[in-house]
Amino acid sequence: MRISVIGCGYLGAVHAACMAKLGHDVVGIDVDEMKIAELSAARAPFYEPGLEELLMEVQKTGRLKFTTDMGAVAESEIHFICVGTPQKKGENAADMTYVDAAVTAMLPHLQPHSVVVGKSTVPVGTAGRLSDLVAQQQSSAHLVWNPEFLREGHAVADTLQPDRFVYGVFDGSEDHPAVALLDAVYSKPISAGTPRLVTDLPTAELVKVAANSFLATKISFINAMAELCEAAGADVTRLADAIGMDDRIGRKFLNAGIGFGGGCLPKDIRAFMARAGELGADQALTFLREVDAINMRRRSRVVELTRELCDGSLLGRRITVLGAAFKPESDDVRDSPALSIAAQLQLQGAVVTVTDPKALANAARRFPELHYERQLDAAISGADALLLLTEWNEYRELDPHDVGSVMVSQRILDGRNVLDPEKWRAAGWTFRGLGRA
């Protein structure tokens, strides 16, 4: 099938490459010339495991092209909207500028019977509004909503073989013409067993924000338990293991630590609350305010624990922060808890060095005032304390004896609860975890 993908960021670039891998003819469109130049040369403009290899593989087939020309839409029968919906400055609501601009720019090129597929995370009601615009332009064209559930760091696998497809169509009916078309787009994963659900438009939009709200709630729940464990002298990791053995609860997303960040969970729960307010249903989501507050409290808690770790004062202490990305296997630093903690420590007088295998360039753009060091050895050397804030494998595997020999004092705070406290204490370290006695 002939597909266009509008917006070539973390979502769109992966979607375009994966659609070509599934056998379709794909054009990726973006207003950012640098990004298009990189992608055209089969280089990933951001770090995502497996993406660059996939770009090289599919570009050889001639099935994947990139352009800044929105006119390319006219050659395709299906158009995926993959642009971002960040948080509005100074407000909780989502900024719809990019979605609106993408749809407005594509409309004049829309061919009869084509299908516009929204994948961006949007406030409920957006699809209905855009659907009217599409219908005014081309009465035979349709707009459907097909939310994306990929996780950064696993984006390629999540796109090629997702755990479900959700198709939101105007009448919520299996007989809607766009259903068969999307089934054809996704025929490979569907025949490999990926289930798909057909819903109406608002349900499909809500599925995405509801899923992210649930995940955020699960993380904040275990972080609230971590606060209790700290107060009661218990261990949140063992508590999570034990409650996670109940199938109804499950162990996934119960890792207590410095909390969630990234370009999705934080802004999605805020935009959801803002939209609920507009709909007169704000009471239903009041709990998300608490989810957000618990999450933000983790960051200040780490600053306090670091102060304790440094004998009560941060002034002049040389602190090395391991990790800048909001999670491992990504170079994304949007709302990264690690960077926010590093910046707070520096503001309070610590001498902070941040290291990360992939995210330093992005981190330096966002927090130019912090000091960065790519080489792990150099970053650690001479430090008074280590903070593990993003659980890259290379930090999980650190040897306490090797690291200790180049530090001034052997103190470590494990912000992700991934290290073995016994091993570090046995090597002579002062060790602090989160939610652990």
At its nearest, how many Å lie between ligand UGA and the CB of residue 395? 13
**Binders of ligand UGA among 269-308, rule CB under 6 A?**
none
Q: In 233-285, which ranges are continuous DSSP H helix?
A: 236-244, 265-278
Residues with catalytic roles: 264
At its nearest, how many Å lie between ligand UGA and the CB of residue 138? 29
Distances, alpha carbon 71 to alpha carbons 30, 77, 105, 110, 183, in Å: 12, 13, 9, 9, 26
Q: Does residue 261 belong to the site contacting ligand UGA (CB under 6 A)?
A: yes
Measured distance CA(307)–CA(294) in Å, rounded = 20
User: Site for ligand UGA (CB under 6 A): how many residues?
Assistant: 22
Measured distance CA(161)–CA(323) in Å, rounded = 29
Q: Does residue 152 belong to the site contacting ligand UGA (CB under 6 A)?
A: yes
At its nearest, how many Å lie between ligand UGA and the CB of residue 12? 12
**Binding residue for ligand UGA, selected from 118, 168, 262, 323, defined by CB under 6 A:** 262
DSSP state of 311: T
Q: How many CA atoms lie within 13 A of 375 on its CB side?
A: 3
**Binding residue for ligand UGA, selected from 326, 367, 392, 424, defined by CB under 6 A:** 326
Measured distance CA(398)–CA(79) in Å, rounded = 46
Q: Does residue 124 belong to the site contacting ligand UGA (CB under 6 A)?
A: no
In this structure, the number of other CB atoms found within 10 A of the CB of residue 294 comes to 20
Q: Does residue 4 belong to the site contacting ligand UGA (CB under 6 A)?
A: no
**Binding residue for ligand UGA, selected from 45, 123, 168, 257, defined by CB under 6 A:** 257
At its nearest, how many Å lie between ligand UGA and the CB of residue 381? 27
Binding mask 158-197 for ligand UGA (x = CB under 6 A): ----------------------------------------
**Rounded to 5 degrees, what angle do the CA atoms 173, 195, 154 make?**
125
At its nearest, how many Å lie between ligand UGA and the CB of residue 131? 22
Distances, alpha carbon 391 to alpha carbons 115, 123, 215, 309, in Å: 41, 32, 19, 20
Q: How many CA atoms lie within 13 A of 224 on its CB side?
A: 11
**Binding residue for ligand UGA, selected from 54, 224, 264, 274, defined by CB under 6 A:** 264
Footprint of ligand UGA (CB under 6 A): 121, 148-152, 212, 215, 219, 253-255, 257, 259-262, 264-265, 268, 326-327
